[in-house]
Amino acid sequence: MMERTRGLKDLLWALALAGLVAGGFRLWFGLGATTALTDHVPWGLWKIFNMVAGVAISTSGFTVGFLVYVLGLERFRPLMKPAILVAFLGYGCSCLALLFDIGLPWRFWHPFLMWNEHSFLFEVFWCVSLYFTVTTIELAPLVLERLRAEKAVRFLHRIAFWVVVVGISLSSLHHSSLGSLFLVTPQRLHALWYTPLLPLLFIVSAMGAGIMFVILVRILHAHWYDREAVFGPTRVERELILMRSPGRKEVEEGARAAGPEMPMLTALASIGTGILAIWLILQVVALAMDGSWQALLAGSWESWLYGVELFVTAALPLLLVWLPATRGSPTAMGVAAFSASAGLMLNRMNVGIFGYFRDAGEIYFPTLAEWALSLGVVAAAALVFLYFTESMPIFRSTREEGRAAPLFGVSFDSLSRVWYRALRSGVERATVIGVFVLPLAWAFMYPPFHREEAPAVTPAFGMDVARTSLRIDGNRGGVDTEFPHAEHKERLGGDSSCVTCHHISLPGDETTPCSRCHRHLVEPTLIFDHDLHVAKVAEKEELKGVFPENHSCVLCHTGGGSKTAANAKPCLECHKEDTRWEEEYGESDELSWAVSYLEAMHTNCADCHAEKAEEAKRPGLGDCATCHGSLSPRVLPAGAAPRGSTSPPA
Amino acid sequence: MMGILVDVTKCTGCERCVEACIEENDLDPVKAQVDRAVTKDGLSANRFLSVPQVAEGRFVRMSCMHCLEPICVSACLVGGLTKSPEGPVVYDPEKCIGCRYCMLACPFHIPRYQWGDTTPLVRKCSMCLQRLQHGQVPACVEACPEEVLKFGDRGALLKEAHDLIAAGRGRYLPRVWGEHEFGGTSVLYISDVDLGVMGWPEPAAESIPSLTEPLIAKTPFIGLGVMSSLLGINWVIQRRIRLAGEREREGRSS
């Protein structure tokens, strides 16, 4: 039994521990450093996935409570406890994630004292808090029974009906209000999802998909713990039964022989998918009401997402549950339940995140830390769920051996004839997982490691001390070439020859390095430093104010109107004495763009080499290998970008 | 109720209003200068006011519109934003929990967050409420060298705006932005180019709180209604179960 869930639990532990690291970073470094949220997309994964969707998927506590306590449908009572547990954990982990999401978590209690009863978020806050209390009271008998507090248990059983009624009322309020949250953004939310019916759509879909989710939980639990309750006897078991009592038709039919709980689950799924059908109809009504069906026909990515959402949430589960071919099959039921649950999550993400992209004018993709915390909190809740189901009678048919694993796994290995200690206990395994996961999570999410740096300039490789020759390595890629600097200087006319190659003769620096202008191997580089000019001009003209720089604009942008490079003064108007470009390029305005390293070097070097090769009658002098092959092992690799190519060499 | 009238045709985009705003609100000029370059509209937690270009040669003072029926005030769950009687929509940093619902709710994307901070707050224009209370005009209005900005009673400004449009004979588009949109705003614009790019809706756009507040007022009644109908349904069902049981017993005894 223990073996079956081991892989699942290991995964959950890994996710939960990664989430722990993410949560720590969130608290230590702040929201901006750990999330991809911006001023234009202020709500992300933690709010929408964990809170809005997480709460919506946990409706089973009140829907099953309604069926059992209010309508008196006792056949669904076996699912009451798991439903309440799902609600308790769903709400609990949503609130936990929300604590990390709000900017000032230690002020989470403010809405209890500071009221704004006009706010839907205020209502959601109160209802969720109260409902979480309700689920705690509903769950308490389980724990109290273990503690043998019989009086308290009897009292809680007496008030159970009233607690359920209060819970349903609170749920009906906040599940609709979660939809109303988005009613405040008629301008911002995409027309496909914005509708005055949002509150109604939200509560109906949450009820339907919440029922499907508790079915999914039941089926998954059965898969790991008590298969035959849902999936029926295995093939071997079936054959055994047939051997003992041949002719039992329902067993003989094989595939359709489902477990004893299937009829109940099928009935519940019929209710769930029925509610989702109502939701589907309401969605169509909402589309027709405000004419947003036109947006559906637009063929944008939003309309595709909307279509997928409707299909996955409602259409597919409806088909699987109601078509005679698949009705009553545990696997089809599992797929239907998963589809509805995933569809609900997608719906909430669409309304809360994707529907805002168009208005925001940007795309939000959560950071690794956001994913880790979101999934980690859910994984932690799942671990708590497994703990509860293994140690308490949550599912009526849960067998005792579920927790019968030995605490110390010391055993004898018959092959190697040594005693070894297998990692059996949960704590041991979690520790080992932690040893692997925690450092990885740290490395992948530690914000200072992942801060976006400004694109670095790639200056020329350093010169030798005597400057007799240079090594030019434009991108610091280990691909360099030798340049006999002293020889060139001598040949071209000594100390006065610098400006022949170094076009810009900066004051006090006669030998400007190539890297000052040609900063990238293949990309042309903008050498005009706007900020420097703004500051220098303000300084020179002795302008005043908080931003003396602001008053300097008009000194260069003389054209009026918008301030662009087009209406700025040509560089030469101020920098005549600093450059030789005038004689070479005249009044050209190309000055602010320096060509790439590759272009500059090839033009200067290769052209000259070709000339000299002819003069010296040595055609090989102009070959690439003359420069790039001479410096083994650092040679130009095969397939490197040829001259004029736009991609940097490998 | 005070307001600001912006004449877009006069603005040269010199940004002295931004400079004054930064000085008045004690913001970091260097960070503001950086945010001017890296944000798309020039607004950030370090820069409450920006003057983006909306058309060739046309610049618009962009900041909080100080709506008459602000949705941020309606949305904030702790009442951290209020519409003061003087006109400004004011933020209370002591109440804020950082949920950022005001940022989602604002149709103009005005409230900005201190993302880089570990104790972040929402920042936005307060129409210099502290200055108004001392009988001064907002810092941006005072700083404007071209008399683009006029501060005064909103009603009087509105009348002046319509007079200007009438007297301009085609100099302005026949619309005062902020007169009706979202139930009206305290900051008004007259312009010769369309200001839709700033996020202005159709003039008929109703105030957003009028979409939500009638609904939320019904909440307690919905809750009580649900609860009483639950009790009603349960009573009927329990009674029928009991009657069915009795009938069965009678049937057995007779």
Render pLDDT for A483-539 as a digit per residue (tens, 0 to 9): 777 788 788 877 777 666 765 555 555 556 666 677 666 666 666 777 778 778 877
Whether residue A4 has pLDDT greater than 60: yes
Other Cβ atoms within 10 Å of B131 Cβ, number = 16
Helix (H, G, I), strand (E, B) or coil at B189: strand
Residues A214, A208: Cα–Cα separation, whole Å: 10
pLDDT score for A271: 96
User: Across residues B34-58, what is the average pLDDT?
Assistant: 87
Q: How confident is the model at residue A619 (pLDDT cuts 50, 70, 90)?
A: confident
Q: Do A42 and B56 touch (CB under 8 A)?
A: no
Residue with the bigger pLDDT between A395 and A544: it is A395
Which chain A positions have a beta carbon within 8 Å of B239's beta carbon?
none
> Do A120 and B43 make contact, defined as CB atoms within 8 angstroms?
no
**Tens-digit pLDDT profile for residues A310-319:** 999 999 999 9
In angstroms, the CA A220 to CA A222 distance is: 5
Q: What's the rounded Cα separation, in Å, for the pair A386 and A381?
A: 9
Give the angle A434-A436-A438 at the CA atoms, nearest 5°. Answer: 55
**Each residue's pLDDT tens digit, A8-38:** 888 999 999 999 999 999 999 999 999 999 9
* CB-facing half-sphere around the CA of B171: CA atoms within 13 A: 14
User: Which of A104, A123, A168 minimises the CB distance to B219?
Assistant: A123
For residue B49, list chain A residues with Cβ-Cβ distance below 8 A: none
Q: For residues A349 and A379, is the Cβ–Cβ distance under 8 A?
A: no
pLDDT tens sequence across A72-101: 999 999 999 999 999 999 999 999 999 999
3-state helix, strand, coil in chain A (%, to 5): 65, 5, 30
* A31, A110, A170: residue with CB nearest B120: A31
The pLDDT score that the predictor gives to residue A396 is: 62
Residue A533 burial (C-beta neighbours within 10 Å; 0-12, 13-18, 19+): middle
Please indicate whether, in this complex, the C-beta atoms of A196 and B211 are within 8 angstroms of each other.
yes
**Residue A477 binned pLDDT confidence (cut-offs 50, 70, 90):** low
Give the range with max mean pLDDT: A206-220, A291-305, A408-422, B6-20.
A206-220
Distance of alpha carbon A230 from alpha carbon A218, whole angstroms: 8
C-alpha B37: how far from chain center: 25
Residue A460: the pLDDT is 43
Size of interface A-B (CB pairs under 8 A): 193
Q: Which of A28, A48, A104 to probe by mutation at the B interface, max B CB count within 10 Å?
A: A104
Alpha carbons A321 and A344: distance in angstroms, whole number: 17
Residues on chain A touching B29 (C-beta within 8 angstroms): 546-547
The whole-angstrom separation of Cα B74 and Cα B180 is: 19
> What is A601-624 written as a DSSP string?
HIIIIIHHHHHHHHHTT-GGGGSH
Chain B positions in Cβ-Cβ contact with residue A180 (cut-off 8 Å): 212, 215-216
Residues A175-179, mean pLDDT to the nearest whole number: 94
Residue-level pLDDT at A560? 59
Instruction: Name the residue of chain B whose CA is nearest to A447's CA.
Output: B116
Identity of the amino acid at A85: L
Q: What is the pLDDT of residue A293?
A: 83
Decide if A185 and B104 are in contact by the 8 Å CB cutoff.
yes
Given a cut of 90, whether residue A123 has pLDDT beyond it is: yes
Whether residue B74 and residue A115 make contact (CB cut-off 8 A), yes or no, is no
What number is the average pLDDT over the span A130-148? 90
- CB count, 10 Å around CB of A157? 10
Do B227 and A166 count as a contact with CB atoms less than 8 A apart? yes
* Least trusted range by pLDDT, from A25-39, A191-205, A439-453, B208-222: A439-453
Residue A597 pLDDT more than 80?
no
Least Cα separation, residue A76 to chain B (angstroms)? 16
Q: Tell me the chain B residues in contact with residue A356 when contact means C-beta distances shorter than 8 Å.
A: 104
Which residue among A117, A553, A562 sits closest to B53, beta carbon to beta carbon? Answer: A562
The pLDDT score that the predictor gives to residue A605 is 80
Which residues of chain A are within 8 Å of residue B40 when distances are taken between CB atoms? 361
Mutation pick from A129, A546, A564 vs chain B, by most beta carbons of B within 10 Å, is A546
**Candidate from A116, A181, A550 with C-beta closest to B78:** A116
B96 neighbourhood in chain A, CB within 8 Å: 103-104, 107
Distance (Å, rounded) from C-alpha A183 to C-alpha A576? 62
pLDDT at A302: 93
Dihedral of the CA atoms B17, B18, B19, B20 (nearest 10)? 50
Q: Which residue of A25, A28, A29, A31 is the best one to mutate when testing the B interface, meaning the one whose CB has the most B CBs within 10 A?
A: A31
pLDDT at B237: 93
Tell me which chain A residue has its CA closest to the CA of residue B24: A546
Residue A478 Rama label (left phi>0; alpha psi -120 to 50; beta): left
Residues of B in contact with A187 (CB under 8 A): 107, 199, 201, 205
Cα of B44 vs its chain's centroid, Å: 16
Contact across the interface for B211 and A115, Cβ inside 8 Å: no
Residues A404, A407, A410, CA angle at the centre, nearest 5°? 115
pLDDT of residue A511: 55
| Cβ-Cβ contacts under 8 Å, A545 against chain B | 16, 19
Question: Inter-chain contact A173–B205, Cβ cutoff 8 Å?
Answer: no
pLDDT value, residue A512 = 61
Nearest by CB: A39 against B96, B103, B121: B103
DSSP track, A225-279: T-HHHHH-S-HHHHHHHHHHSTT-HHHHTGGG---TTHHHHHHHHHHHHHHHHHH
CB of B97 within 8 A of CB of A110? yes
Half-sphere exposure of B89 (CA within 13 A, CB side): 28
Mean pLDDT, chain B, whole residue set:
92
pLDDT, one tens digit per residue, over A178-197 is 999 999 999 999 999 999 99
Sequence-distant (6+) residues with CB within 8 A of B155 are B1
Query: Is the CB of residue B2 less than 8 Å from the CB of residue B154?
Result: yes
Task: Check CB contact under 8 Å for B211 and A183.
Answer: yes
Would you call B57 and A560 a contact, using CB atoms and an 8 Å cutoff?
A: yes
Q: Please judge whether B120 and A30 are an interchain contact, meaning their C-beta atoms are less than 8 angstroms apart.
A: yes
Instruction: Give the ipTM.
Output: 0.93
The chain B residue lying nearest A547, using CA atoms, is: B19
- Interchain contact, B223 vs A169, CB within 8 Å: yes
The minimum CA-CA distance between B191 and chain A, rounded to whole Å, is 16
Judge if pTM exceeds 0.80.
no
Cβ-Cβ contacts under 8 Å, A189 against chain B: none
- Residue A225's Cβ-count burial label (10 Å; 0-12, 13-18, 19+) is buried
